[in-house]
Amino acid sequence: MLDTYKNLNDIGYSWEDNNIEEHSTSSTRHERHERSQTRLKPSVYTQCLNAFEYNSHFQRHKRTHNGEKPYECNQCGKAFGRYSHLQTHKRTHTGEKPYECDQCGKAFSQHTHLQTHKRRHTGEKPYKCNQCGKAFSQKSTLQMHKRTHTGEKPYECNQCGKTFSQRSTLQMHKRTHTGEKPYECNQCAKAFARYSHLQTHKRIHTGEKPYECNQCAKAFTRYNHLQMHKRTHTGEKPYECNQCGKAFSQHSYLKTHKKRHTGEKPYECNQCGKAFTDHSVLHVHIRSHTGEKPYKCNQCGKAFSHHSTLKMHKRSHTGEKPYECNQCGKAFSHHSTLKMHKRSHTGEKPYECNQCGKAFTRYSHLQTHKRTHTGEKPYECRQCGKAFSQHSHLQKHKRIHTGEKPN
């Protein structure tokens, strides 16, 4: 109304300022009275026909159409359509978390995040999928879940065209193009593309293992590691090869296995040309050239090139044998040894020679057998130069030089 009076004044009508204010105040009171009586919402924006009770709400809504963002952060320059959104954003710089859970003490920068968190304590899941009945504590999580039914992937990468069902997944994917790693560890300066990866990494420094197995009490730094570990108790192997039917407890194992069918070895060593089906295996292999052994035993000082090898070595000190055969009760310090042992019960021989059809219980035995076809003798005596197809044969031969008598 005040704007109306000013517009009239611009085209020639003369109004005293006090009259303008008086009319404006009177008119505003009148409008509020009418709204309280009729509950009408007079301000209507014709683009989407949303109605608003107050002009300030109407002005704020218009920004969703024109893209106006008048509130800018004076630290990073990011702009927002609402002042309240700017205030919330500023907490990412200050670290302020004014909303605290009265049950566990965890604090949050936004009140909505606290409300969502509280549902973890209550178990409340008010948002239910009308297709499968699965319930969620957050509406946004339900919306993302629904895309598993529809197959919708509305977020597309403008560099490679790959599409995603979640915006956050697209943002993380984009970092594979830019190489950006915005999350840095304040202890060792290692940087990560994902915040969750930084949080997990920090546990290396703190030694924290928050995920504990309720069957054997073994603890893990990552939740997915706990889930995979549980399968050693249940024997569950949910990932099955659609070519040979072999099943695996981990998806990564299945992916690696499939490369055996295709013969694909995409990871090649730039020093010796040897190729591998898995990047992590290449990474470990490279240490055979560099001699790097970053994993050291804190009891005897022995160093290893692979973390899993160090873990297995430590059991030689503790005598721990966590892997037990559910048929005869025999226990083993290595899971792979248990798997091989189980074949003595089942008679399974999964490794078959593609030249003569002979089958073996161990992959290493197959590799050794293949040398009978190729004539390869990779183990050579440094003293006399004689070569052998098996390492054990070389060890026996060495006793000729040392004079050692076999047991």
pLDDT for residue 283: 85
pTM: 0.37
Alpha helix locations (H) across 73-194? 83-94, 111-122, 139-150, 167-178
- Are the C-beta atoms of residues 218 and 205 closer than 8 Å to each other? no
What's residue 52's pLDDT?
59
d(CA 332, CA 338): 6
| CA distance between the termini of the chain | 106
Dihedral, 244, 245, 247, 253 alpha carbons, nearest 10: 30
Q: How far apart are CA 263 and CA 259, in angstroms?
A: 5
Beta bridge partners of 380: 387
| Cα–Cα distance measured from residue 98 to residue 91, given in angstroms and rounded to the nearest whole number | 9
- pLDDT value of residue 54: 62
C-alpha dist (Å) from residue 304 to 84, 268, 281: 54, 22, 14
**What was the pLDDT predicted at 51?**
60
- The residue assigned the tokens 């020639």 is 12
300 CB burial (10 A radius; 0-12, 13-18, 19+): exposed
Give mean pLDDT in consecutive 10-residue pieces for the chain, a chain of 407 residues. Answer: 45 42 44 45 47 65 74 87 85 87 87 86 89 88 88 91 89 90 90 88 89 89 88 88 89 85 87 86 88 90 88 90 90 87 90 91 88 89 89 87 73
Q: Report the phi/psi class of residue 207: left, alpha or beta, with left for phi > 0 and alpha for psi in -120 to 50.
A: left
> Does the CA dihedral 181-182-183-186 come out positive or negative?
positive
Q: What is the pLDDT of residue 37?
A: 46
CB burial readout 31-43, b (16+ within 10 A) else e: beeeeeeeeeeee
Q: Given this model, what pLDDT does residue 42 score?
A: 43
> Could you tell me if 316 and 305 are in contact, meaning their C-beta atoms sit under 8 angstroms apart?
no
Residues in the chain: 407
pLDDT of residue 68: 80
